[in-house]
Amino acid sequence: MNFLEQNLSLEKCPALVLNADYRPLSYYPLSLWSWQDSVKSVFLDRVNIVSNYDRIIRSPSFNMKLPSVIALKSFIKPQSNPSFTRFNVFLRDRFSCQYCGSSEELTFDHLLPRSKGGKTNWDNVVTACSTCNVKKGGRLLKHSEMMLNQEPYQPTTEDLHKNGKHFPPNFLHKSWMDYLYWDVELEA
């Protein structure tokens, strides 16, 4: 038995939740369930256990290894168009200013300023640091002498998943790696 894990607080042993196709339900935030929810779903027969912690939980009626990775038995269809939220715009733009690349003091810039009828949507809003935001001010992009890193676009859930992999959470159990990064492109 791994004594380190046996001594871990149960609160620090969430389970990674996979869809029925063995891909994570969500990357960002990573789909994690508390140990209580994962054990409950095992008893309700809603999930398959894919991997375990070296941590045994005991009650008067049963002993079981705590699941570290579980997979849903029925497939949940991912939302194809992610919601337009502040967070998802940041994620599409990988938390970097689309003008200078900074990741400090991020806010949003309307390419076509709101004062000129610019809409607040995927095609007109980009992540910008407050310095660039102030610098561009109410001008049109073409009058600002500023360059966009990438044209804004409506991302798919897949796009956001891909970007989410660049921002792993602080804690990753070793048993999760196979399911999180197996399809990441290898960098030459």
**Sites of contact with Zn ion (CB under 5 A):** 97, 99-100, 102, 129, 132
**What are the φ and ψ backbone dihedral angles of 162, each rounded to 5 degrees?**
-60, -45
For Zn ion, which is the closer residue by CB, 55 or 110?
Answer: 110
Min dist CB 59 to Zn ion, Å, is: 55
Q: Which amino acid makes up residue 117?
A: G
Distance between CA atoms of 18 and 31, rounded to whole angstroms? 8
For Zn ion, which is the closer residue by CB, 52 or 130?
Answer: 130
For Zn ion, which is the closer residue by CB, 99 or 179?
Answer: 99
- Distances 133 to 41, 140, 149, 154, 159 between C-alpha atoms, Å: 47, 12, 14, 21, 25
Strands 15-18 and 63-72: parallel
159 Rama class: left (phi>0) / alpha (psi -120 to 50) / beta: alpha
Min dist CB 109 to Zn ion, Å, is: 9
Min dist CB 60 to Zn ion, Å, is: 60
For Zn ion, which is the closer residue by CB, 16 or 97?
Answer: 97
